[in-house]
Amino acid sequence: MGKLTTHVLDTASGLPASGVQWALYRIEDSSDLIREGVTNPDGRSEAPVLEKDEFVSGVYELRFAIGDYFRLRGVNLSDPAFLDTIVIQFGISDSTTHYHVPLLVSPFGYSTYRGS
């Protein structure tokens, strides 16, 4: 069976982003919260974000509380912050494979891709 994983890299510091709160939603007719967590010292979720019977095809969102992450590190952000919550919406079409959704982030920009 497949699984979903994520990690966050702070490109402003060049380090893994430890302590980023994230939430996973399944998007159907409404948004349903499936799981929440916080990245570990390596910037990763401790366990797969989604796996086994819960890992099914569909549209999902990962929401990252990136403004809170930078504030806790003493970064001087504007009010409101340029980036506060980053939402990555993606589709899972093959429930037998590994989907990895990394986030590379700074206070003023981010990128993502389908990793391995």
Question: How far is 46 from 44, CA to CA, in rounded Å?
Answer: 6
Side chain identity at residue 105, one-letter code: V
Rounded CA-CA distance 71/75 in Å is 5
How far apart CA 12 and CA 23 sit, in angstroms, is 23
Check pLDDT > 90 for residue 29: no
Q: Please report, rounded to a whole number, the percentage of residues in the chain having pLDDT higher than 90.
A: 93
pLDDT-based confidence at residue 111 (cuts at 50, 70, 90): very high
Residue 1 predicted with pLDDT over 90:
no
Q: Is the pLDDT of residue 8 over 90?
A: yes
Which range of residues forms the domain containing residue 108?
A: 3-112
* pLDDT at residue 80 greater than cutoff 90: yes
Helix (DSSP H) and strand (DSSP E) numbers for the chain: 1, 9
Q: Residue 43's closest CA among 97, 94, 5?
A: 5
pTM for this model (two decimals): 0.95
Q: What is the mean pLDDT of the segment spanning 19-39?
A: 93
The stretch 82-100 carries a mean pLDDT of 96
How many domains does one find in the chain?
1
Place of tokens 């989907």: 99
Can you give the pLDDT at residue 116? Answer: 84
Q: What is the mean predicted confidence (pLDDT) over 64-84?
A: 97
Strand, helix or coil at 106?
strand
* Domain CATH for 29: 2.60.40.180
Residue 9: other Cβ atoms inside 10 A: 20
